[in-house]
Chain A
Amino acid sequence: MPTGPLPMNTCQNKCVLKVLGVTKEYNHKNIIQNINIHLNQGEFVSILGPSGCGKSTLFNVIAGLLPPEDGQVFVNEKEVTGETGKVSYMYQKDLLLPWRNVIDNAILPLEIRGIPKKEARETVKAMLSIFQLADDGKKYPIQLSGGMKQRVSLLRTTMFSQEIMLLDEPFGGLDAITRMKMQAYLLEILNKIKGSVLFITHDIDEAIFLSDRIYIINGSPAQIVSEMVVPIKHASPEEMMTAEALRQLRSDILKCL
């Protein structure tokens, strides 16, 4: 049974991120409850659930922006609950600074870490071609299309940390065609920089196409209701439509939602 649920909290490879029993409340009401997830090195894991169920709250807890009421967050086996600056975070909105050009937007995390601007710019310039932005370094965000802006935003995210990246519906604001292109682009980039990704989405096909593993989050308060392994990685469009294993996975996911 390739698509069946696995026992939770199994770290096979090197486990870079572990979330243990995290509960977060808002106005004395639990938003997320007893969340247990983990992310292995080089893995792409999606958290799939309906909009507004508390996925972003979970990310805020992992990023250290919100202290959880209960539970712990571990990065590389070290507890970092409530600490910022351990994982990189990318939002649905590109959040680029309109007064900075592409290069200067991307150096922001390096600047915050105290690296001199000149050195940071060199680091970013070396990455531009990998991100297919070689000719756009001097452009301002206003001159870029939606997909390009998200590329810059991804570049900035990886400048902070490639080890653990939290991507919160990064392509949610894009049109269907651009989104498809960006998904392929993301996989290409990840192939080069070998990062580990935790990815939030409410799009079942997006999760299946991109992920190694999928956590289904649902309910109120939101809980992890299932964990599934994707049997065919980065399926082609034909496979997405026809492969029996994926059809089975899709129907299993739908049952949980």
Chain B
Amino acid sequence: MRKYQNTSDKLIPIVFLLTILILWEAAVNLGVVERYVLPSPTDIIAALIANGSDLMMHAGTTFFEGMTGLLVAVCLSLIMAIVMDLFPVVKKAIYPVLVMSQTVPIIVIAPLLAMWFGFGIAPKIFVVVLVCFFPITVSLIEGLQSVDGELINLVRSMGAKKRQIFTKIKFPSALPYFFSGLKIAATYSIMGAVIGEWLGGKAGLGVYMLRARHAFALDLVFASILVIVVLSIGLFYGIAGIQRVMMPWEKLKEEEE
């Protein structure tokens, strides 16, 4: 019964998605919407296949920018969160600034970055770092601060030093929080890279989309979107996979439930 429940849970979104796609296809084919305004799903797939190698090349660039930015953001977040956790003064000083920085639209900052760093790969990675840094840092700090005070007292009563409390208790406790932040950041990372590319450059899905739009090749624009979605979801599940490997006890929890 439970197994049946599980498969039907997975089936529901698939059926829903298929229904929408079929309606979409029908609407375009019946002429409800003009094809040059909205290409049908089959048009998009066809464009995707026809331009596969181009798309792959550009997706590779975007993926590289996204991953590099994500990696830099993770390192920065780790350092930032650890410093903020060790020195509450730093947290008090920086945290509000961090929140404020997130209210500035990235689309406004990106042109400035192009002015400062040129049209190479650096400003793209910078955008990704800007977008990814915040969710990782905030969730990591929250995780570090949500550790049970009695647990800290217990290990303190055992004579643990500050460093031991951090490595043995606080950091592992914060891991689930860290990963939920990382999963959000991962889905943002590809988007961040695309926004960076929009402002100009030689390669990347953003550049490709821009060119396709100028040529009114809407099917190619949608094909690029599809690639972006697939990349982002792939990253999301990749990180979820790493999480399962690094935190086997979480899987047990699901089994118990």
Contact residues of A between 99 and 119, Cβ < 8 Å to B: 99, 108-109, 111-113
Shortest C-beta distance, B44 to chain A (Å), equals 44
CB-based contact A97/B169 at 8 Å: yes
Nearest-neighbor residue (CB-CB) of A59 within chain B: B157
C-alpha gap A104/B150 in the complex (Å) = 19
* Shortest beta-carbon distance from B173 to chain A in Å: 8
Name the residue of chain B whose CB is nearest to the CB of A89.
Answer: B157
Stretch at the interface among B35-43, B183-191, B227-235, B246-254: B246-254
A111 touches B168 (CB 8 A): yes
- State whether B150 touches A91 (Cβ < 8 A): yes
Asked whether A91 and B154 contact (CB < 8 A) given A97-B172, A112-B160, A112-B168, the answer is: yes
**B153 close to A (CB within 8 Å):** yes
Cα distance, A208 to B155, chains bound together (Å): 30
Q: Does B164 sit at the interface, judged by CB under 8 A?
A: yes
By the criterion CB–CB under 8 Å, are B157 and A65 in contact?
Answer: yes
**Inter-chain contacts of A113 with B (CB < 8 A):** 158-159
> B155: which of A112, A142, A143 is its contact (CB, 8 Å)?
A112
- Assess whether B151 is interfacial by the CB under 8 Å rule: yes
Check if B150 sits within 8 Å of A93, measured CB to CB: yes
Q: Which residues from B are CB-within-8-Å of A98?
A: 249, 253
Q: Which of A67-121 contact B (CB under 8 A)?
A: 84-85, 87-89, 91, 93, 95, 97-99, 108-109, 111-113
Candidate in B157, B173, B175, B247 with the most chain A CB atoms within 10 angstroms: B157
| B158 partner, pick from A60, A85, A143, beta carbons under 8 A | A85
Chain A residues contacting B159 (CB-CB under 8 Å) are 84-85, 112-113
Contact of B164 among A63, A97, A112, A141 (CB under 8 A): A112
Residues of B with C-beta under 8 A to A85: 157-159
Tell me, yes or no, whether A64 is within 8 Å of chain B by CB: yes
Instruction: Report B192 CB to chain A, min CB distance, Å.
Output: 31
Residue B9 is within 8 A (CB to CB) of chain A in the complex: no
- Chain A residues lying within 8 Å of B148, measured Cβ to Cβ, are 93, 95
In the docked arrangement, what's the CA distance between A205 and B7, Å? 52
**Is A140 an interface residue, CB under 8 A from the partner?**
yes
Give, as a whole number of angstroms, the nearest-CB distance from B254 to chain A.
10
User: Is the pair A84, B156 in contact by a Cβ cutoff of 8 Å?
Assistant: yes
On chain B, the residues within 8 Å of A142 by CB distance are 249, 252-253, 256
The verdict on A160 contacting chain B, using a C-beta distance below 8 Å, is yes
Question: Which B residues lie within 8 Å of A109 (CB)?
Answer: 158
Residues of A within 8 A of B158 (CB): 84-85, 88-89, 108-109, 112-113, 160
Interface residues of B in 136-167 (CB under 8 A from A): 148, 150-151, 153-160, 164
**Closest chain A residue to B249 by CB distance?**
A140
Residues of B within 8 A of A108 (CB): 155, 158, 168
Q: Among B158, B249, B253, which residue has the most Cβ atoms of chain A within 10 A?
A: B158
> Shortest beta-carbon distance, A88 to chain B, in Å?
8
Q: In the complex the two chains form, what is the Cα distance from A87 to B160 in whole Å?
A: 13
A63 neighbours in B (Cβ, 8 Å): 153, 157
Report B48 CB to chain A, min CB distance, Å: 42
With A84-B156, A93-B150, A95-B151 known to touch, is A140 a contact of B168 (CB < 8 Å)? no
* Chain B residue nearest in CB terms to A98: B249
Distance in Å: Cβ of B95 to nearest Cβ of chain A? 27
Partner among B157, B169, B175, B249 whose Cβ is within 8 Å of the Cβ of A64: B157
Instruction: Please give me the residue from chain A that is nearest to B148 by CB atom.
Output: A95
B121 to chain A, nearest CB (A): 38
Identity of the chain A residue whose Cβ is nearest the Cβ of B175 in the assembled complex: A99
Tell me the minimal C-beta distance from A115 to chain B in angstroms: 12
Q: Which 4 residue pairs are nearest across A and B when measured between Cβ atoms?
A: A85-B159, A63-B157, A89-B157, A112-B160
List 29 A-B residue pairs with CB atoms under 8 Å apart, sorted by A's residue number: A63-B153, A65-B157, A84-B157, A84-B158, A84-B159, A85-B157, A88-B158, A89-B153, A89-B154, A89-B157, A93-B150, A95-B150, A95-B154, A99-B175, A108-B158, A108-B168, A112-B155, A112-B158, A112-B160, A112-B168, A113-B158, A113-B159, A140-B252, A141-B249, A142-B252, A142-B253, A142-B256, A143-B252, A143-B256
Interface of A with B (CB < 8 Å)? 60, 63-65, 84-85, 87-89, 91, 93, 95, 97-99, 108-109, 111-113, 140-143, 160
Taking Cβ atoms with an 8 Å cutoff, the residues of B that contact A are 148, 150-151, 153-160, 164, 168-169, 172-173, 175, 247, 249, 252-253, 256
Given contacts A65-B153, A97-B173, A109-B158, 19 further A-B contacts (CB under 8 A): A65-B156, A84-B156, A84-B157, A85-B157, A85-B158, A89-B154, A89-B157, A91-B150, A95-B150, A97-B172, A99-B172, A99-B175, A108-B155, A108-B158, A111-B168, A112-B168, A140-B249, A141-B249, A142-B253
